[in-house]
Amino acid sequence: MGFLTKAEARADEKIVTTPESNSTSSDKPKTEKNSYNDQDSSPKEWGYDLYPERRSEGFKPKWSRVFLGLEGHENIDKLKCERNVYWCAKNSPLVKLMMGALKSSGCPIDLRRHISCEVCDTTVTGGYDPVLNQIVVCQNMARKQGMVQGVLTHEMIHMFDYCNNELDFRNIDHLACTEIRAANLAHCSFLSAMMQGDASLFNIKQAHQNCVKSKALASVLAVRNVSRQAAIEAVERVFPKCYNDLEPIGRRIRRNSPDQHRAYMEGPMYGYDVY
């Protein structure tokens, strides 16, 4: 296997609404699938230790946790997760916009092929696997529709970047850029910045940028075995360009605002075949 990009943490459960893309036959990422094979021997370095079902051994419930009722109902969780994914694909403005943008870019999404509900480490809610071109929704962590929408939007931005921009997740600058874009377009608001300590009433102007930098940094550190200083330098290096890239949503989504619906309605203006 290769590695996955990390979705936002549990604290963002009430994020704006929000894994996937590319056709099963002629999708772009398939042409580069073998380029990641040299990373197969180091799953920890690339984040695969966070997604046990991405590894050959799969997820194995512990009998002690089964006895306590904490594990052992994975099939039920998977069914609920898939139901939430389907609901988001039909009802979430941002998810529908992202699916339309991916389709217009030549990377249409098949829910059964490109989105997978799996058991994950408790530190993540989802991820994007560029090797299999799949979005992972963590069924044990993203249990509500709002959280699933956030995961889908976040990871579809990674998929969109991979489809359109020849993204190389092994390049830390590329990884930092797509994490900046995902946090910028799908997650950060003044309220969320306040909740994680990145803003106050005295630095409102920088609140959103600080939130984006913090989330991007946390995501890079979660999936790459690099020093904190190296991750910070990568985020700062690409931040101006990537922060100002609003494609394909076209605007930064404010919490509890009509921005999601506006972005969806504006999709055709940018040539996106919204669903």
Q: DSSP string spanning 63-81?
A: HHHHHTTSSS-HHHHHHHH
The verdict on residue 19 lying in a domain is no
**What pLDDT is attached to residue 10?**
39
Q: Which residues of 56-91 are buried (b: 16+ CB within 10 A; e: fewer)?
A: eeeeeeeeeeeeeeebeebeebbebbbebbeebbee
**Can you give the pLDDT at residue 147?**
92
Q: Residue 52: inside a domain, yes or no?
A: yes
Residue 33 lies in a domain: no
Alpha helix (H) ranges present in the chain?
Answer: 63-67, 74-91, 93-104, 111-114, 145-164, 172-186, 190-195, 204-223, 228-243, 259-266
Residue 4 lies in a domain: no
Residues (pLDDT < 70) of the chain are: 1-48, 55-72, 189-205, 275
Whether 144 contacts 83, CB under 8 Å:
no
Rounded CA separation 214/249 (Å):
21
Indicate the SS3 state at residue 24. coil
Reduced to 3 states (helix: H, G, I; strand: E, B; else coil), residue 4 is coil
Residues 159, 154: Cα–Cα separation, whole Å: 9
Last residue of a domain, one of 115, 145, 164: 164
Residue 254 shares a structural domain with residue 179: yes
In terms of domains, do 113 and 178 share one?
no
Evaluate whether residue 219 is within a structural domain: yes
What is the pTM (predicted TM-score) of this model?
0.77
Does 142 lie in the same domain as 51?
yes
Q: Based on the domain organization, do 73 and 183 belong to the same domain?
A: no
Domain of 118? 46-164
Q: How far is CA 213 from CA 68, 92, 156, in A?
A: 39, 26, 19
Task: Determine the Cα–Cα distance for residues 196 and 187; give it in Å rounded to an integer.
Answer: 12
- Looking at the structure, do residues 147 and 247 belong to the same domain, yes or no? no
Within this chain, do residues 122 and 56 fall inside the same structural domain, yes or no? yes
Residue of 20, 71, 118, 155 marked catalytic = 155
Regarding whether 53 and 158 lie in a shared domain, the answer is: yes
How many helices, marked H, and strands, marked E, lie in the chain?
A: 10, 4
53 and 80 share a domain?
Answer: yes
The pLDDT value recorded for residue 123 is 86
Would you say residue 144 lies in a domain?
yes
pLDDT, residue 36, reads 45
pLDDT at 40: 44
Residue 264 lies in a domain: no
- Structural domain count, the chain: 2
Same domain? For 242 and 143 the reply is no
127/175 same-domain check: no
Q: Same domain, yes or no, for 158 and 88?
A: yes
DSSP H helices, 8-73, are 63-67
Residue 61 lies in a domain: yes
Side chain identity at residue 236, one-letter code: E
The pLDDT score that the predictor gives to residue 211 is 87
3 vs 250: CA distance, rounded Å: 28
Show which of 105, 130, 164 is a domain's final residue. Answer: 164
What pLDDT is recorded for position 68?
61
| Domain end call among 99, 130, 164 | 164
Both 197 and 94 in a single domain? Answer: no
Q: Clarify whether 266 is annotated catalytic.
A: no
